[in-house]
């Protein structure tokens, strides 16, 4: 990997990886440190990186592992793990390309705009799931509806978010 290749990769992935790490560790400063370490490792291992394959999965895997390592450190034990592997999280960190310089606030605004447009019950279920981190069973009990109904509302919300982001020109 040449210096030019590295610079292109850095410019392409720095912001989206920082957002991804921040979603896991809930600390922008720590996320920046993690991403700097990821790119330092990439440069150190540049001779072993095959650029004929996409480097994106490698970068996300290393970022994910580094973020979890950060949370496992004893001084970080009280930081909640905010990472959830689901469609919404996938949309947050796979939507953007190098030419789309968006901050986390921009992404969050788009998602909030879409959530505001959801039907009232669907919005309530979705927010209980994603904002309050309740399990489907807990939501069903709290709202006195079936788990299947909860699943349908969440599926509808995620589908709406997907369409909303695509209509705004974001690639998924």
Q: Dump pLDDT digits (tens) for 103-162.
A: 555 666 777 888 899 999 999 998 898 878 888 899 999 999 999 999 999 888 888 887
DSSP assignment string, 70-112: HHHSGGGTTS------SHHHHHHHHS--TT----HHHHHHHHH
> Nearest Cα to 26, choosing from 84, 107, 88?
84
pTM of model > 0.75: no
Q: Is the pLDDT of residue 83 over 90?
A: no
By CB atoms closer than 10 A (0-12, 13-18, 19+), residue 35 is buried
What's residue 24's pLDDT?
79
24-38, 85-99, 126-140: least confidently modelled range? 85-99
> All domains of the chain, ordered by start, with CATH?
3-76 (1.10.1740.10), 87-167 (1.10.10.10)
**Residue 18, token pair as written in the block:** 């920082």
Query: Rounded CA gap, 169 and 172, in Å?
Result: 9
């Amino acid at each position: 990997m040449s210096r030019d290749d590295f610079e292109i990769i850095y410019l392409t992935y720095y912001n989206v990886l920082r957002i991804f790490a921040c979603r896991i560790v809930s600390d922008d400063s720590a996320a920046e440190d993690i991403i700097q370490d990821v790119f330092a490792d990439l440069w150190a291992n540049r001779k072993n990186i095959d650029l004929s394959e996409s480097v994106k999965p490698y970068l996300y895997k290393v970022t994910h592992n580094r973020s979890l390592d950060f949370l496992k450190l004893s001084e970080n034990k009280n930081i909640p793990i905010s990472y959830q592997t689901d469609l919404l999280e996938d949309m947050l960190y796979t939507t953007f390309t190098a030419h789309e310089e968006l901050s986390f606030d921009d992404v969050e605004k788009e998602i909030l705009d879409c959530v505001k447009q959801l039907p009232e019950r669907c919005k309530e279920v979705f927010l209980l799931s994603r904002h309050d981190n309740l399990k489907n069973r807990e939501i069903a009990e709290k709202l006195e509806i079936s788990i299947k109904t909860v699943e349908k509302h969440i599926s509808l919300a995620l589908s709406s978010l997907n369409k909303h982001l695509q209509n705004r020109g974001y690639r998924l």
